[in-house]
Amino acid sequence: MGIGSFEHQTFAQRVVFGAGTAMTSLVTEADRLGARRVLLIATHAEAELADRLAGALPVSGRFHDVRPHVPAEVAEAARALAQEIEADLLVCIGGGSTTGTAKAVALTTGLPILAVPTTYAGSEATPVWGMTEARRKTTGTDPVVLPRVIVYDPELSVSLPTALAVASGLNAMAHCVDSLWAPRANPLLSAMATEGIRALAPALRGIVADAGDLDARAGCLYGAYLSASTFAGAGSGLHHKICHVLGGAYDLPHADTHAVVLPHVLAYNADDAPRAADRVAEALGAAESVAGLIDLYDDLAAPRALRDLGLREDQLEEATGLVVDAAPADNPRAVTAESIHRLLRRAWSGAAPLRAADDERNPS
């Protein structure tokens, strides 16, 4: 089997990984970046944690009005505060929405970001930004939004409730799976994606078995970094296009939406991307990719239905049109309004995902 030809883009970034590193390394890393006036970004719920971790930093302002999918008005408020305090470094402590808010500020100010993730969202390892306005989520890629430094401390995610940890970890797994057929997929990224799946599956099972398992939490962070790195290189495949549409248009919870949609997109593409499907199966230790993923979902009691997340049945028709318009032209299987409507309906109801052959035999 030949490797063929491909192009691969790497991104310069410093990673500090280990239990306790958030408390011991923030000052050192901020000093490396020449920080004198820090804007600290965290949700209201994580404000106390952020203040504790950043206690020795030169914090000149705090922004806590973080919201999912980064509404444009939130991004503008955070930018205005950064300019008001003349910030020279953004320190974001939290999940994907917190990192996304810092990215929105960096996009127009050029300020460097030091990211301290507390979930497995992975945004900290990508140059991808996203903002929502008028029920539409816009995403783009710009090296200026890539955090200069990431501090991964598994101790910070121990307080993440098991259900949220599962959804966040499956969001990371979706990065890996989607990267296997995304527009810029290549052998290097596929190897990283496979390793990410291989790390995430047992780590998530470990968290479900023991929420305080620090090794399992570290495994999820490791897998999340690999997953985000593959997504940064490969770009958005069909899965991410669907989830960005649903999140932006209907304000669905980000990680849970990814968790619900993933098995359906894997089933949709598996027959037309057999090498990718084989990689997923091998990484899961399963004979077949979709069955292996469903077995994992059963073990994790993972979310299964978009209706449980707030999507209404009467919104499926509109969502179908939005997804078809956004879908990558080179998806392994052709994207049609009929097939996407069936995929979304099954994801909405919590029905089992259908592979292509079964989908064609069961058009209802």
Domain boundaries, the chain: 14-157, 162-361
CATH topology of domain 14-157: Rossmann fold (3.40.50)
Q: What is the pLDDT of residue 360?
A: 64
Digit-coded pLDDT (tens) for 142-191 = 999 999 999 999 999 998 999 999 999 999 999 999 999 999 999 999 99
Digit-coded pLDDT (tens) for 6-25 = 888 888 899 999 999 999 99
Q: What is the pLDDT of residue 12?
A: 83
Residue in 198, 209, 36, 6 with CA at minimum distance from that of residue 111: 36
Sites in the chain below the pLDDT cut of 70? 1, 360-364
The verdict on domain 162-361 having CATH code 3.90.1300.10 is no
Q: What is the pLDDT of residue 346?
A: 98
Q: What is the pLDDT of residue 362?
A: 61
